[in-house]
Structure 1
């Protein structure tokens, strides 16, 4: 199944919903960063949540960043998404290993206590920024809490990553369901009832459910209406040119020190782990461009 996001409404526009399958993009992130199973699960959940939140934004240039800083062995995660289904991200410690908890990867244990910051850059003078304390470290509950406290939008977030025995990604995906301020009690009660009885995201995806079918279960009996679908992918816009700008920005003194060492340097992109190499001659060219 190709990765894609579904956007929908239900209950006569009293509910808006998003669902995604992200198996390929989470596997691509795993390959780029060589993450351990628990780090793959944590990053995969945050990439999935981030890309659905990115799809909520209106303009082509809008950007969403989710940063988690935490006390657990994973140390932190960063994910960036745009409004067109592109997402990238990394974990601070990709090698984190923990024993399973209740037969599942212990994402909450890997994160421990911490803070989640969500930054939305919508082309205004100042980007919007909201910050909440991690509730469980399991990410779905933390995003649910963020929506309720920072955006005052009651939501239900489900995220899941299931691994194969060889530590590749078997399935990944999730949903976000949000209720409007004018929701009627009857509709809300039905939604809450549905959410209590649905199976986990990974169980649904592993059974071959599409994002549409996931939403059919979450919003059963609530007149689900799919408004559109969009492809989603792990995409990093780094390039040798962009990295050059970053090197130039560190200043003449630092570049000269690199040249004096007389060795080729390697610069890695945080988001996709791609390595860029610069010879001493290339560094001399960059020195001329720096201030």
Structure 2
């Protein structure tokens, strides 16, 4: 089954909700960066949260970036998503290995550590919107829940999960975001809280064969769930050699001349998809001419 996001409302639009299955895009990220199991889980959760938050954007060219800077061994992670269901991401230290946590699960919180979550929304205005909050657990879902409550003043519940196979491939991945509108009635909140308390986990539900829509049926049971639409999701990086050429030209003539003087090919690596682009001395001379 391909990755996709479901958008929904419930309780007469007092609740808005998103749910996603993201096994393919998390596996694509794992393959691109050769991440360890704990980093696959952490980056996978952040990409899953990011792709659903990207689906909240209105404009076709709007972009969302989630940046974690922390003191754990992974050092930090960055994810970028658009409004079309495309997401990409990387971890600074992708091969961190840690023993399981006290619950016998991958210790994402230990790998991430303490630090900050930064959310940047480029909505095509003069200045992007930037929100920043302290990480609460480093487990990602709780950190995004806290961000929504403090930076956007939107009471939310975020669930994210990545289940790994023993061979380090991704078995299941997905998540949900459920948000309350300002006029939500107390009885609706109470019903939602009961449903959340009874909900097992994202990966357990997906591993049972349930779809994102069925996940929302559990979360919003008795609250008149209405699926608004679905959209595909994928790991996608729009980098290509032409873009890298423009980036090299932008660094200036002096730096390009220094590269040429060394008389060696250079290799430029894309952080997000780990693709490498090689430029010969001849190509660098052509770029120098274009920079004039």
Please give the residue correspondences for 1:187-226 in structure 2 after superposition, counting only pairs within 5 Å: 187-226=188-227
Q: 2:75 matched to which residue of 1?
A: 75
- Alignment partner of 1:284 is 2:282: no
Residues in 2 aligned to 1:289 and 1:132: alpha-carbon distance in whole angstroms: 43
CA displacement 1:185-210 (0-9 Å, x = unmatched): 00000001100110110101111110
Alignment gaps of 5+ in structure 1? none
Please give the residue correspondences for 1:158-197 in structure 2 after superposition, counting only pairs within 5 Å: 158-197=159-198
Q: 2:127 matched to which residue of 1?
A: 126
The Cα of 1:39 is off from its aligned counterpart by: 0.6
Residues in 1 aligned to 2:99 and 2:140: alpha-carbon distance in whole angstroms: 19
Q: 2:11 matched to which residue of 1?
A: 11
Residues in 2 aligned to 1:82 and 1:55: alpha-carbon distance in whole angstroms: 7
- Alignment partner of 1:138 is 2:139: yes
Alignment gaps of 5+ in structure 2? none
Residues in 2 aligned to 1:96 and 1:255: alpha-carbon distance in whole angstroms: 35
Residues in 2 aligned to 1:103 and 1:170: alpha-carbon distance in whole angstroms: 17
Residues in 1 aligned to 2:268 and 2:195: alpha-carbon distance in whole angstroms: 49
The two structures have a TM-score, normalised by structure 2, of: 0.99
Residues in 2 aligned to 1:110 and 1:290: alpha-carbon distance in whole angstroms: 43
Deviation beyond 6 Å, 4+ runs, structure 1: none
* Alignment coverage as a number of residue pairs: 291
The Cα of 1:7 is off from its aligned counterpart by: 0.0
Residues in 2 aligned to 1:128 and 1:136: alpha-carbon distance in whole angstroms: 24
- Alignment partner of 1:241 is 2:247: no
Q: What is the root-mean-square deviation of aligned Cα atoms in Å?
A: 0.6
Which secondary structure state, in structure 1, belongs to the residue aligned with residue 12 of structure 2?
coil
Q: 2:97 matched to which residue of 1?
A: 97
The Cα of 1:171 is off from its aligned counterpart by: 0.5
The Cα of 1:125 is off from its aligned counterpart by: 1.3
CA displacement 1:136-175 (0-9 Å, x = unmatched): 0000000000000000000000000000010000000000
Residues in 1 aligned to 2:199 and 2:67: alpha-carbon distance in whole angstroms: 29
- Alignment partner of 1:25 is 2:17: no
Residues in 2 aligned to 1:13 and 1:95: alpha-carbon distance in whole angstroms: 43
Which secondary structure state, in structure 1, belongs to the residue aligned with residue 121 of structure 2?
strand
Which secondary structure state, in structure 1, belongs to the residue aligned with residue 65 of structure 2?
strand
The two structures have a TM-score, normalised by structure 1, of: 0.99
Q: 1:62 matched to which residue of 2?
A: 62
Residues in 1 aligned to 2:67 and 2:223: alpha-carbon distance in whole angstroms: 34
Residues in 2 aligned to 1:181 and 1:97: alpha-carbon distance in whole angstroms: 43
Which deviates further from its counterpart, 231-240 or 248-257? Answer: 248-257
